[in-house]
Amino acid sequence: MRGATHAKWAACAAAVALAATACGGGGGGGDSSGVVSSSWGDPQNPLEPANTNEVQGGKVLDMLFRGLKRYDPKTGEAKDMVAESIETEDSQTYTVKVKDGWKFSNGEAVTSKSFVDAWNYGAHLKNNQKGAYFFGYIEGYDKVHPEKGDPSADTLSGLKVVDARTFTVKLSQKFSTWPETLGYPAFAPLPKAFFDDRAGWLAKPVGNGPYSIKSYQKGSKMELRKWDAYSGDDKAENGGVDLRVYTDNNSAYNDLMAGNLDLVDDIPAAQLRNVKNDLGDRYINTPAGIIQTLAFAFYDSKWNKPGAEKVRKGLSMAINREQITETIFQKTRTPAKDWTSPVLGKDGGYSDSLCGDACDYDAEQAKKLVEEGGGIPGGTLKISYNADTGSHKEWVDAVCNSINKALGNNKSCVGNSVGTFADFRSKASQQKLDGAWRAGWQMDYPLIQNFLQPVYYTDAPSNDGKYSSEEFDKLVNEANAETDTGKAVSTFQDAEKVLAKDMAAIPLWYQNGSAGYSDRVSDVALNQFSVPVYAEIKVN
Amino acid sequence: MGRYVIRRLLQMIPVFFGATLLIFLMVNVMGDPIAGLCGDRKCDPATAAQLKKEFGLDKPVWQQYVTYMGNVFTGDFGTAFNGQKVTELMSTAFPVTIRLTLVAIVFEIVIGISLGVLTGLRRGRPIDTTVLILTLVVISVPTFVTGLLLQLLLGVEWGVIKPAVSAEATVDELIVPGLVLASVSLAYVTRLTRTSIAENRRADYVRTAVAKGLPRRRVVLRHLLRNSLIPVVTFIGTDVGALMGGAIVTERIFNIHGVGFQLYQGILRQSTQTVVGFVTVLVLVFLVANLIVDLLYAVLDPRIRYA
């Protein structure tokens, strides 16, 4: 009797232990059937390709969709994916051929119509797509998305379906690097199911990528599983990915440390000090296509008068980038040397010498330049930032400290916090900020054009400071019309030199993507958008 | 009693409208929420106008408020910026927070009142002093410190619990977060009960009960405790609303997708619909909890009767 009880106890203990490991592991192990669990943030917008403009939604789209092109996760080069060919003779009219045999995970074929319909949907004003401007280069955009009033057309006149696998695109101006923009998720194809039942599709999106959605609990969890019939050659190396929404990246990090989570793609600032001890080489810190700058209020005549560029240059030299990136960001930022990003590479237009001395710390020279330029307008530089997300307060204070020290005046620079990001953005976009403010630019696609035109071209959508230079605009136009890619890039760099001359914005640092992962998974890497390349992750 | 309840219910109406109007105005003065939706790029004016129209933000505030309240009475709380109905958000968030609050209240009642009775009956003894010091520590340490510390020790270092609560948020996962949420109130409950018990111990009716030869257990539970509970019940009752609204910190630390999380996100994104919707429900919970407390008085002390 006593023996039997013992046996029972042993069995129970074994069962408990088994159950515990099964729960703790989050699903079976082994080669390509293991499921990766990863941290996630609640996407801000409904998950429509043209409506997603932030990383969290973009993460899902990258697993769910494949467009005409895809950016190589290592080099950033735009490679044909669903496109068989994209041809043009005049950099204005393009003929796109879609590869045969691609399917959506619901069985529908990916045809030229899947693209044309999706783009027409994305561009149309009544669909409220936040990324509608991506279709702005296509002829007829002003008809379906007028700046004022109601649309006068339902479809883009520049898009024509030729046959099931071919369509043509006519742009409203020459744009030689346009095909390279097509890797952006907004250009993804949509299945017929989307147009038939949008609400149903949004509840459980269907795409043509390596994963399909098994379940989606909005605001808390999405389970993606490898889609076996996927047509591309970048099939998933794991059985699936569970995205879990975390209220805070600290709790995600703690979950990783406790072994309940495989991947965190945003290391909390407070943990940067310990992360190397905690994770060793399972900590990733690689450059991403994000640059942070200080933008200036050019709409204010005080900042737009002759000589002000000397003040801006002087301020730039007063900022000790090396020290700030090391002490505050623990080297998850790299001091900026130009107005683009190192992920572009030398051939893509990145240059480590374009900003030159102006981006090096030199207190003496800084003081001299500011004085020559007539001093800081109003005596004090106010740097505005939003206090709700990121650790902007810390670095703004550090930048101000650095400036104050260099100029030998404690009142040279002060931080000005704005409560929420929405409020900050609304003030910035309505030209209600004075002095300077933090400006960030995360690239849409790895092209030098994307770092310059949307931010510094006259009246461009992200040109909040209203910087305007005829010379810069002229060079950008020339570069866009240039058919030879190499020449286009060097013309863009010429335009960038205008920015350097005017110090249109002070480049601060390039932001890295930082991530950490458990020893259960391997082959983890971040792409240039600082999004993990999920399909390549292997479960040990 | 019936008339009293009706009068109280009628009083709730102006409180309800006043509170919601205040919240509505507060969210609105924070500025233009649409600007934040487009990220670092300025929304193109046509899309921004279209979005404003969709969320009713193009009308004057008073008109927005009237429309909103009209819709609320038909059960329509509007749509959050991510396209989800606010009622849908509520249906996922409230059950989780209610579970968390219940766990917290149970801790308050069980631990708080027991400790209170224990110390109240042994005033001045070592156990009393120990508990007093402990409650002092709990009250003076902020919740987020206790929360983060417990998460780090129990979750990461010792592996007793999972540091983050799963999407399902089952009751067993909520025990530690519930304890953290309850901690400060728990200390107050202990102290309130202790004082009340200590005072009433010398009351005539207790002496009478003891003189009648009633068993000690009966004296303490039926006579002493019942009369001493009135201030405690008041506190716990009003605490229900405070706990639900105040769970923001605890919910963030332990990754609980409840009311606090939705409110926090609503405020960050300046989603008027989400914030006003959730706060409206919280105001109702608060008002109802207060009403129930007042009605409970009569049950605890028959001398209190409402005309």
ipTM: 0.85
pLDDT at A329 exceeding the cut of 50: yes
Among B41, B149, B158, pick the best mutation site for testing chain A contact (most A Cβ within 10 A).
B41
Residues of A in contact with B164 (CB under 8 A): 246, 251-252, 254-255, 260-261
Candidates B30, B44, B251; nearest CB to A420: B30
Tell me which fold the domain A10-65+209-262+518-539 belongs to.
Answer: D-Maltodextrin-Binding Protein; domain 2 (3.40.190)
Q: What integer pLDDT is reported at residue B284 of this predicted model?
A: 86
Q: What integer pLDDT is reported at residue B195 of this predicted model?
A: 92
Using alpha carbons, select from B116, B300, B115, B289 the residue that is nearest to residue B192. B116
Q: What integer pLDDT is reported at residue B67 of this predicted model?
A: 87
Q: Which residue of A has its CA nearest to B263?
A: A247
pLDDT at A9 exceeding the cut of 90: no
CA dist A402 and A317 (Å) reads 10
What's the burial of A7, exposed, middle or buried (CB within 10 Å: 0-12/13-18/19+)? exposed
What tokens were used for B280?
Answer: 């409206």
Residues of B in contact with A425 (CB under 8 A): 35-36, 38-40, 42
Candidates B35, B84, B92; nearest CB to A422: B35
Q: Which residue of B has its CA nearest to A252?
A: B164
Candidates B31, B46, B255; nearest CB to A246: B255
Q: What does the pLDDT profile of chain B (307 residues) look like in tens digits? A: 778 888 888 988 898 888 888 888 888 777 777 877 877 777 788 888 888 888 888 888 888 888 888 888 888 888 888 888 899 999 999 999 999 999 999 999 999 999 999 999 888 889 999 999 999 999 999 888 989 999 989 988 888 888 888 888 888 889 999 999 999 999 999 999 999 999 898 889 899 999 999 998 898 888 898 888 888 888 888 888 888 877 888 998 999 999 988 988 888 888 888 888 898 888 888 888 888 888 887 777 777 766 5
Average pLDDT over residues A258-269: 90
Q: Which residue of A has its CA nearest to B28?
A: A423
Q: Which residue of B has its CA nearest to A250?
A: B253
Q: What integer pLDDT is reported at residue A31 of this predicted model?
A: 53
CA dist B36 and B44 (Å) reads 13
Candidates A54, A219, A427; nearest CB to B39: A54
Residues of A in contact with B254 (CB under 8 A): 251
Class of domain A69-198: alpha beta
The separation between CA B86 and the C-alpha centre of its own chain, rounded to angstroms, equals 20
The Cα of A520 is separated from the nearest Cα of chain B by a number of Å equal to 17
Average pLDDT over residues A129-152: 91
**Domains of chain B by range and CATH?**
86-269 (1.10.3720.10)
Compute, in degrees rounded to 10, the torsion defined by CA atoms B270, B272, B278, B282. Answer: 100
Residue A400 CB neighbours (<10 A): 21
Instruction: Kindly give the pairing relationship between strand A35-40 and strand A240-245.
Output: parallel
Domain spans of chain A, in order of start: 10-65+209-262+518-539, 69-198, 287-513
Residues of B in contact with A427 (CB under 8 A): 31
Residues of A in contact with B51 (CB under 8 A): 128
- pLDDT tens readout for residues A196-239: 999 999 999 999 999 999 999 988 899 999 999 998 999 999 99
What tokens were used for A528?
Answer: 């240039």
Is B255–A255 a contact, with Cβ atoms under 8 angstroms apart? yes
Per-residue CA distances from B282 to A14, B20, B247 (Å): 46, 10, 12
What tokens were used for B147?
Answer: 């929360």
CA dist A335 and A356 (Å) reads 12
Exposure string of A340-360, with b = 16+ CB inside 10 Å and e = fewer, is bbbbbeeebbbbeebbeebbb
Highest mean pLDDT among A15-24, A408-417, B28-37, B40-49: A408-417
Asked if A282 and A517 count as a contact pair (C-beta separation under 8 A), the reply is yes
Q: What integer pLDDT is reported at residue A509 of this predicted model?
A: 95
Q: In CATH, which of 3.40.710.10, 3.10.105.10, 2.60.40.10, 3.40.50.2300 is domain A287-513?
A: 3.10.105.10
Using alpha carbons, select from A528, A527, A526, A32 the residue that is nearest to residue A264. A526
Helical spans, DSSP H, in A437-469: 448-456
Exposure string of B109-128, with b = 16+ CB inside 10 Å and e = fewer, is bebbbebbbbbbbeeeeeeb
Whole-model pTM over 0.80: yes
Q: What integer pLDDT is reported at residue A23 of this predicted model?
A: 35
Is B82–A251 a contact, with Cβ atoms under 8 angstroms apart? no
Residues of B in contact with A259 (CB under 8 A): 159
- State phi, psi for A69 to the nearest 5 degrees: -120, 160
Instruction: Kindly give the pairing relationship between strand A333-335 and strand A381-386.
Output: unpaired
Among B29, B30, B34, B38, pick the best mutation site for testing chain A contact (most A Cβ within 10 A).
B38
